[in-house]
Chains A and B, each alone.
Chain A
Amino acid sequence: MIDVLIVYFQMPLVQKALIVGVLIALCSSLLGVTLVLKRFSFIGDGLSHVAFGAMTIAAVLNLSNDMLLILPVTVLSAILLLHTGQNTKIKGDAAIAMISVGALAFGYLLMNLFSTSSNLSGDVCSTLFGSTSILTLTDAEVWLCIGLSVVVVLIFILFYHKIFAVTFDESFAKATGMKVEAYQLLIATVIAVIIVLAMNLVGSLLISALVIFPALSAMRMFGNFKAVTICSAVLSVCCAFLGIVISVLAGTPVGSTIVAVDVVAFLMAYAVGMIKGGSRR
């Protein structure tokens, strides 16, 4: 088995998949804590459906680089969703559900009407659940992913304390002079970028798993923000690595394997939390 692994690890396409997978897992886990705590767990889901819709439009328009359309559309939706979180006629969760299901329906409709592919259901399935495309990444895609990941991590480190403050208590932050709207815009943009990146890895339907599971697991085990953030990043990276290795060895779909590993990790974290905390809720 070790021999097989070594052979696989020497293949450039597996190396690329591992690099991209680990980076995406790292980025998505960083903001996961904020999203879970802000009760925005479903935003990943909603946005990924929007990204799916945008992707079909890009396909219909025959764009050579579909990122040019998907990224701005998703960022825009993220801003809309996060910004209208409170004090609107349509509440946060309803807005997310509305946008996400709407985008999903239109996406599938467009795919059906204008599809040039002979294997429509196969195409849909792979955009929704992640394809093997993680194993067919081009060098350019890998570099794009590395670049964006570095930016995301840098932004997170530089604004770590502010993200904490905005997550913990928006009105206090605003009252004491923080530019809360600007930071929300930043958070929304970063989330959208991560989601578009992660679509390659796990597909639209499974992205929220990548965002929320590591955060939830870490929150079971630790009581301060720093530890939760670090733990969730480490967990997410390990799970993604393990998931990719298993899927390569066993020939299972990459996305669902990673998510399955995340679920197992969550159950273990839950048990650890029970033993450690005892009385804690």
Chain B
Amino acid sequence: MSLITVKNLSVGYEGQAIEKDINFSVNKGDYLCILGENGSGKTTLMKTLLHLQKPIAGEILLQDGLRSDEIGYLPQQTVIQKDFPASVREIVRSGFLGRAGLRPFYGKEEKALAEENMERMGIKDLAQRSYRELSGGQQQRVLLARALCATHKLLVLDEPVTGLDPKATMEMYELIKKLNQEGVAIIMITHDVNVAVQYASHVLQVGTPSFFGTKESYLNSDLGKLFLLQRSKENTADAGKGGAHD
């Protein structure tokens, strides 16, 4: 059974739809990549999924006992966070607050789970360190650990590798893959078709033309074929360039 089903959804701002008639669903264990050009409404769609803004039309159904506060979220970093004086542990624990209600302090179980999630993300030894002193990749791990404190069912990631160097980018993708294999459903926004093709189980393309389906059917679609064609051209072009220089 699916965790989240989106039916005829239109998203946008102030009554103006940017993107209409979006349909897709995410099952337990799925890895969905949302592809699209800049300005095609990817981020708006994500904000709507997270209830940060209201849908213009259509509906988002949460199923299989998924509550709206059980969607973990890895936002893009804000300027505020870059020099925020907070320790890694403080940030990771704050993932629990959505469900804390009016209870002012963290419980024992929550504290233990926070440690566990830091362990999972390989940042246990950084627990006391200040967030602003960490590298970009480490910061993303901290935010991922926080998201895991909020949920173990569904994570929504907004361009999680923006600003990371190639090595940190690879590590980030592998980490997300590992989480997915452990049973966490992933919805990831990316503009990198290569990544979608390599990691995702499903692809949602927003904008025109749009597409939703498994990765295999994406590769067999006109869009996918176009992409494959472009990639092989790029590869030969790169190879050609490389040859000329060397």
Write out the residue numbers on chain A whose beta carbons fall within 8 Å of the beta carbon of B50: 171, 174-175
Q: Are B98 and A176 in contact (CB under 8 A)?
A: yes
Write out the residue numbers on chain A whose beta carbons fall within 8 Å of the beta carbon of B151: 176
Distance from B67 Cβ to chain A, minimum over Cβ atoms (Å): 8
Q: Any chain B CB within 8 A of the CB of A91?
A: no
From B151, which residue of chain A is reached at the shortest CB distance? A176
Q: Are A174 and B52 in contact (CB under 8 A)?
A: yes
Contact string against B for A residues 18-45, beta-carbon threshold 8 Å, 1 for contact and 0 otherwise? 0000000000000001000111000000
Q: Any chain A CB within 8 A of the CB of B171?
A: no
Q: Are B73 and A175 in contact (CB under 8 A)?
A: yes
Distance from B202 Cβ to chain A, minimum over Cβ atoms (Å): 21
Q: Are A223 and B132 in contact (CB under 8 A)?
A: yes
Q: Within the assembled complex, what's the spacing in Å between the Cα atoms of A269 and B156?
A: 40
Contact string against B for A residues 164-207, beta-carbon threshold 8 Å, 1 for contact and 0 otherwise? 11011101111111100000000000000000000000000000
Q: Within the assembled complex, what's the spacing in Å between the Cα atoms of A172 and B85?
A: 18
Q: Within the assembled complex, what's the spacing in Å between the Cα atoms of A40 and B192?
A: 36
Q: Within the assembled complex, what's the spacing in Å between the Cα atoms of A171 and B50?
A: 9
Given contacts A158-B104, A177-B99, contact A164 B87 (CB under 8 A): no
Q: Are A160 and B104 in contact (CB under 8 A)?
A: yes
Write out the residue numbers on chain B whose beta carbons fall within 8 Å of the beta carbon of A227: 85
Which of B20-28, B88-96, B210-218, B226-234 touches A?
Answer: B88-96
Q: Main SS of chain A's interface residues?
A: helix
Which of B32-40, B58-66, B74-82, B111-119 touches A?
Answer: B74-82
Q: Any chain A CB within 8 A of the CB of B71?
A: yes
From B150, which residue of chain A is reached at the shortest CB distance? A176
Distance from A120 Cβ to chain B, minimum over Cβ atoms (Å): 43
Q: Any chain A CB within 8 A of the CB of B239?
A: no
Q: Are B90 and A162 in contact (CB under 8 A)?
A: no
Q: Any chain B CB within 8 A of the CB of A143?
A: no
Write out the residue numbers on chain B whose beta carbons fall within 8 Å of the beta carbon of A224: 85-87, 90, 128, 130
Given contacts A38-B80, A176-B73, A176-B150, contact A225 B51 (CB under 8 A): no
From A221, which residue of chain B is reached at the shortest CB distance? B85
Q: Are B83 and A281 in contact (CB under 8 A)?
A: yes
Q: Are A37 and B84 in contact (CB under 8 A)?
A: yes
Contact string against B for A residues 140-177, beta-carbon threshold 8 Å, 1 for contact and 0 otherwise? 00000000000000000111111011011101111111
Q: Within the assembled complex, what's the spacing in Å between the Cα atoms of A219 and B85?
A: 7
Q: Within the assembled complex, what's the spacing in Å between the Cα atoms of A74 and B93?
A: 34
Write out the residue numbers on chain A whose beta carbons fall within 8 Å of the beta carbon of B95: 176
A 194-239 contacts with B by CB, 8 A: 219, 222-228
Q: Are A178 and B97 in contact (CB under 8 A)?
A: yes
Distance from A149 Cβ to chain B, minimum over Cβ atoms (Å): 19
Q: Within the assembled complex, what's the spacing in Å between the Cα atoms of A37 and B81?
A: 8
From A178, which residue of chain B is reached at the shortest CB distance? B98
Q: Are B90 and A226 in contact (CB under 8 A)?
A: yes
Q: Any chain A CB within 8 A of the CB of B42?
A: no
Q: Any chain A CB within 8 A of the CB of B69?
A: yes
Which of B83, B86, B130 has a CB less than 8 Å from the CB of A164? B86
Write out the residue numbers on chain B whose beta carbons fall within 8 Å of the beta carbon of A162: 97, 100
From A226, which residue of chain B is reached at the shortest CB distance? B90
B 134-155 contacts with A by CB, 8 A: 143, 146-147, 150-151
Given contacts A157-B104, A161-B97, A169-B78, contact A222 B85 (CB under 8 A): yes
Write out the residue numbers on chain A whose beta carbons fall within 8 Å of the beta carbon of B2: none
Which of B72, B90, B91 has a CB less than 8 Å from the CB of A176? B72
Q: Are B105 and A225 in contact (CB under 8 A)?
A: no
Write out the residue numbers on chain A whose beta carbons fall within 8 Å of the beta carbon of B173: none
Write out the residue numbers on chain A whose beta carbons fall within 8 Å of the beta carbon of B71: 175-176
Q: Are A161 and B52 in contact (CB under 8 A)?
A: no
Q: Are A39 and B80 in contact (CB under 8 A)?
A: yes
Q: Any chain A CB within 8 A of the CB of B178?
A: no
Q: Are A172 and B104 in contact (CB under 8 A)?
A: no
Distance from A184 Cβ to chain B, minimum over Cβ atoms (Å): 14
On B, residues with C-beta under 8 Å from A are 47, 50-52, 67-69, 71-73, 75, 78, 80-81, 83-87, 90-91, 93-95, 97-100, 104-106, 128-133, 143, 146-147, 150-151, 156
Given contacts A168-B84, A168-B86, A176-B150, 18 further A-B contacts (CB under 8 A): A37-B85, A157-B104, A159-B104, A161-B97, A161-B100, A164-B86, A171-B52, A172-B73, A172-B147, A174-B50, A174-B52, A175-B75, A177-B68, A177-B98, A177-B99, A223-B129, A224-B128, A224-B130
On A, residues with C-beta under 8 Å from B are 33, 37-39, 157-162, 164-165, 167-169, 171-178, 219, 222-228, 280-281
17 contacts between A and B (CB under 8 A): A161-B106, A164-B86, A164-B90, A167-B80, A175-B52, A175-B73, A175-B98, A176-B69, A176-B71, A176-B150, A223-B130, A223-B131, A224-B90, A225-B85, A225-B90, A280-B133, A281-B83
Closest 4 CB pairs of A and B: A223-B130, A177-B69, A176-B98, A224-B87
